[in-house]
Structure 1
């Protein structure tokens, strides 16, 4: 029986090598001793019974990361340095159609001028994921249901993300069910967001003031060696009892209706999402749009294997400081790092155009440079920080151009289990953002990861 393509089933990022969602990895190939290179490979497949149909996969990660930011928050102030440690250990138990996955994580934080530690950076110990799952083939379909704490990334990374730049991942608590055929799939879920403490396992809890539920579909448009194209329509609902727009904090129910078209066509890679948002905030209608349009073209596979690309990100704005409909677009769990490495901007009331170039001096080394120009979608609304709050007073100042950034990234796969990534960004405020006395800021971050 042919199954739905694994790289598009919504159960984890399966681009290459190890995955951020470690349970999305399939290590049954390590049942063959000839495929094992060392003792760590042996840990990927530990049989429980004589037949080897029941088995355990162990996983782990250690990541060391240092980040330097000048003028944090675009305010003229001493630099900030964060030294972050991530330690993760997981176990994946398979017994016939039943599966149980558990993952413990620790986040360490040191440095200079890093302020009050948040649970995403400093966390003594967290049950980062823990779920039970029942699933398998039923006739021509594959069915499954999962309950517990889990990563969820079934959508555009601009809208849904587990925020891997943090030491502790953003996770959900609840139930998820799916049905898959060879060319179609449907996925349903009902979650509460998990809020993070900084102590032991008891202070990382499901936030009952939030609720995120919905359905995502999948259609295989092309699945060949050179063409892989998928269409994922969705309808989601998010409730947040503590949403804030302008000077008002109130209950918000936001519905997302849209579709994602993504994949590759020969040398062209695309990721296009159109997201319509409706709902209610403090008795006011929500009428918003977001769009994320990214494409990359491989110019050559020889020499430096150059790629050129551009992505355009749009989030509508307007209404946060008025009495009519609220037009501010927003993501669900996506991270602000997509719009500024240092969290200077969010996707609300924002238009960004970002051309980029990538070269590969070696098979294991990618170098990317990007120029990013940022505008407000609506001049009567504020410019918004990465955490969603407004830059005070910007809603009163005319001008659409709000800043420019230059970015660099180097990604080096030192060994199959070891990677090193370095990022740099300089952001220069402009127009209304510059007029509220913000200042330019440098960002530099580098981290090394060891996984097994």
Structure 2
């Protein structure tokens, strides 16, 4: 489905549509939900239209730059650069009516210019047993409408201001989950940034302050939360520097508070902080089997400070509330070796857990995660099918422990849904997942994807975790096998700027899960999206 989300993603659309047509996040993301940005011909320099020139970090439609996809519509939209329209021939510029909104010069010499973007998205979701039957609803029908428009003002080469506004509507029957503020959203500022940039010390440097989507993190830990009407945004700043073969990103954010229901009422959630540094090194390129190859070595530290429901840990009888600090130190090796796509990520998570109301002593955190993908793309075939194997491990702990180290890996900031489970019934905690991923473009503008992950608990002494939820099954749950979630996606770019996507998934529970109370479920999501 519309992968909204960050994925560090690739470009099936390169083969699916002409160069003068825009791609959508759904198209680009869907094929690389699992293996972001690995199917590009690397290295290259600014071969992506309407993108800043990040050199080798333009790999994967700009995903390697840390700003998400930048192919046509970007993730986020302020990551686009439409200044190339200034030198485009009139005939090419007129090929798309919306080009007149993408580059509007406000001065005679064009040093001050404006770009306007917009999105209308209608989404329908059906679930017969949401959250494995624990959501309190059956046969849930949700209808979501997102109206989102932005304006990007460039003042010379060094200053840029961007503002984006969102209005979200949600309805349906037997629905659930609308109380969080991320589905029903009155008119509000979704993103608002001021950027100062320039060239210094041989690098392209910049500082971005304000409310913004942030994507420079592993997909298994965080995403833009595009399944909901309101994407996940952050209030704070980031500073970046991009050299020829090395880049770094410094950031310190507080999560945007979406709970207020009034117009322009969103504030800052001071109980959810994220900060750190992300670096990426482009290793020297090489050739394998006659194909250019590029490997990136990323090293990062990402710190979390949060409390409330996401910070709770499991106990033998339920959960224990508190606050926690999570220090994530990790590395990722990824890229393409000839026709093969590789990605290996390892994260150690330290920190501490502080029980609420002095309910116990502060406990250390000792958790980890390992994620790997290995794939092969048959570029010589017309449909360019891709065959991958994805394997993941997110550590678990023990709900019997009252004073030992907490071993459950924490992912409070919405891991990328298409990475493992689009239904959100499971998340990246106490989880082992293995499964094949197959994608193909049988005809232009049509993407097919199949992902069949099989899941186990990493620790049988820990609970089963869903997105924002710790399931109550404890002693009545036997064995580590959870079940399987086969899921398929069909995305059709039937006209410029339009994408129609269908996501079909099902949860098949293990015998142990069924005996504990979990229920099999069916999931269907249909999305019609218009972007310019």
Quote the residue 1:275 is aligned against: 347
Task: Give 1:176-215 correspondences, 5 Å limit.
Answer: 176-197=238-259, 199-215=261-277
Quote the residue 1:10 is aligned against: 66
Quote the residue 1:114 is aligned against: 175
Deviations 1:266-312 (CA, angstroms, capped at 9, x unpaired)? 32223321111000002101000012212321134323322211111
Quote the residue 1:60 is aligned against: 118
Give the Cα separation in 2 of the matches to 1:19 and 1:437: 42
Which of 76, 81, 84 is matched with 1:21 structurally?
Answer: 76
Task: Give 1:109-258 correspondences, 5 Å limit.
Answer: 109-115=170-176, 117=178, 118-197=180-259, 199-222=261-284, 226-242=292-308, 243-246=311-314, 247-258=319-330
Distance 1:127 1:195, change over 3 A: same
Give the Cα separation in 1 of the matches to 2:195 and 2:435: 41
Q: Secondary structure at the match of 2:119?
A: strand
Q: Which runs of 5+ in 1 are unaligned?
A: none
Confirm or deny: 8 A CA contact 2:432 2:456 kept in the other structure. yes
Quote the residue 2:41 is aligned against: none
Give the Cα separation in 2 of the matches to 1:10 and 1:164: 17
Q: Displacement of 1:202 after TM fit?
A: 3.7
Give the Cα separation in 1 of the matches to 2:453 and 2:54: 40
Confirm or deny: 8 A CA contact 2:223 2:416 kept in the other structure. no
**Larger relative contact order (CA 8 Å, sep ≥ 6):** 2
Q: Secondary structure at the match of 1:226?
A: strand
Q: Secondary structure at the match of 2:298?
A: strand
Which of 66, 76, 92 is matched with 1:35 structurally?
Answer: 92
Q: Displacement of 1:139 after TM fit?
A: 4.5
Report whether the alignment pairs 1:44 with 2:125: no
Quote the residue 1:91 is aligned against: 151
Q: Displacement of 1:413 after TM fit?
A: 1.6
Task: Give 1:269-418 correspondences, 5 Å limit.
Answer: 269-282=341-354, 283-323=362-402, 324-335=404-415, 337=417, 338-387=419-468, 389-394=469-474, 397-418=477-498
Give the Cα separation in 2 of the matches to 1:366 and 1:115: 30
Q: Displacement of 1:160 after TM fit?
A: 2.1
Q: Please, what is the CA RMSD of the aligned residues? A: 2.0
Q: Secondary structure at the match of 1:207?
A: strand
TM-score relative to the length of structure 1? 0.95
Give the Cα separation in 2 of the matches to 1:10 and 1:73: 32
Question: How many residues align structurally?
Answer: 450
Deviations 1:103-159 (CA, angstroms, capped at 9, x unpaired)? 001111111111352321111122110010100112521111111000100022111
Larger displacement relative to structure 2 (133-142 or 143-152): 133-142
Give the Cα separation in 2 of the matches to 1:144 and 1:340: 35
Give the Cα separation in 1 of the matches to 2:261 and 2:92: 41
Distance 1:82 1:223, change over 3 A: farther
Q: Secondary structure at the match of 1:295?
A: strand
Which of 160, 163, 169 is matched with 1:102 structurally?
Answer: 163
Give the Cα separation in 2 of the matches to 1:206 and 1:320: 32
Distance 1:120 1:395, change over 3 A: farther
Confirm or deny: 8 A CA contact 2:344 2:373 kept in the other structure. yes
Q: Displacement of 1:201 after TM fit?
A: 4.0
Which of 406, 422, 427 is matched with 2:507 structurally?
Answer: 427
Deviations 1:329-352 (CA, angstroms, capped at 9, x unpaired)? 122523362332221111111000
Report whether the alignment pairs 1:71 with 2:71: no
TM-score relative to the length of structure 2? 0.81
Give the Cα separation in 2 of the matches to 1:89 and 1:424: 29
**Larger strand share, 1 or 2:** 1
Q: Secondary structure at the match of 1:330?
A: coil
Confirm or deny: 8 A CA contact 1:125 1:199 kept in the other structure. no
Give the Cα separation in 2 of the matches to 1:222 and 1:63: 41
Q: Displacement of 1:233 after TM fit?
A: 0.6
Distance 1:413 1:272, change over 3 A: farther
Distance 1:295 1:80, change over 3 A: same
Confirm or deny: 8 A CA contact 1:402 1:434 kept in the other structure. no
Q: Displacement of 1:57 after TM fit?
A: 0.7
Give the Cα separation in 1 of the matches to 2:273 and 2:451: 36
